[in-house]
Amino acid sequence: MKYVNKFIRKFPKFYIENLMLHISLLTLVVYVVHYVFRTPLIGYLVLDRSAVLSGQIWRLISFVLVPADSRLLYFIISIYFYYYLGNTLEHTWGSQLFTIYYIICMLGSILASMLSGAVFTGVYINLSIFLAFAYLYPNQEILLFFILPVKVKYLAYLDLALMAVSFVMGGLATKLMIISSFSGLLVFFGKDLLLDVRLWLRRVKNKLK
């Protein structure tokens, strides 16, 4: 966070207010244009290394606007969910810090795509937003499928377990994708996460004595 704070002091006006609202609305537009009007728009938005290197540099930004799901109900749930998470983080940190967090996550995805050649959307950025929310508000309850109340930390544990399995079983592209989802977390919470791990290992060690 030291370098982030230095950047903020140097560029105090570097931020986009209501960033998740803008991203959500533009993603909605992309969904309508692609799935309702049946155009090949998404194919021109995803982060594809070969396309970027051929000159389609807009993909370095547009990939975050690709809808998470083609099914209307799931799309509506996901876009509302991540808007809620991002908006909460922006209110917690302020627009500057949230904008920087989002950009760091974007850079992580871009780097992973350039190294692996895998095609990226904003899925791993959304995952990073969820993990940041879960770290800050572990006991916050959300209604799973609008019915079942579940604490965010349990969903985060499930995601982390699935990611661990995918990391072990997957290839280089999968590993880089997963690592990219931790880019923002490591920059913002790196020291705190390391301390948490040390405390957890100490507790485990004491229990084994």
Domains, the chain: 2-208 (1.20.1540.10)
Average pLDDT, the chain: 91
pLDDT band at 48 (very low <50, low <70, confident <90, very high): very high
Region 192-205 average pLDDT? 78
- Could you give the C-alpha distances from 207 to 25, 193, 203, 204, in angstroms and in order? 50, 21, 6, 5
Total Cβ atoms within 10 A of residue 89: 21
pTM, rounded to two decimals: 0.91
Contacts 24+ apart (CB under 8 A), 96-99: 96/8, 96/12, 96/14, 96/15, 97/4, 97/8, 97/188, 98/15, 98/19, 99/14, 99/15, 99/16, 99/19
Q: What letter represents residue 144's amino acid? A: L
Residues with Cβ < 8 Å from 63, sequence gap 6 or more?
45, 46, 47, 109, 120, 121, 122
pLDDT at 209: 64
| pLDDT exceeds cutoff 80 at 146 | no
What is residue 131's predicted lDDT score, i.e. its pLDDT? 94
Q: Is the per-residue pLDDT at 201 higher than 80?
A: no
Query: Quick one: pLDDT at residue 200?
Result: 72
Distance CA 59, CA 69 (A): 19
**Residue 129: what pLDDT?**
96
Instruction: Give pLDDT, residue 38.
Output: 93
- Give the pLDDT confidence of 101-123 residue by residue, as tens digits: 999 999 999 999 999 999 999 99
151 forms beta bridges with: 141
Distance (Å, whole) CA 141 – CA 154: 10
Residues 92-105 have a mean pLDDT of 96
The 10 Å Cβ neighbour count of residue 175 is 16
Of residues 90 and 208, more confidence is placed in 90
- As a whole number, mean pLDDT of residues 90-94 equals 96
Q: How confident is the model at residue 208 (pLDDT cuts 50, 70, 90)?
A: low
Considering the chain, what percentage of its residues have pLDDT values greater than 90?
Answer: 72
Residue 202 is predicted with a pLDDT of 79
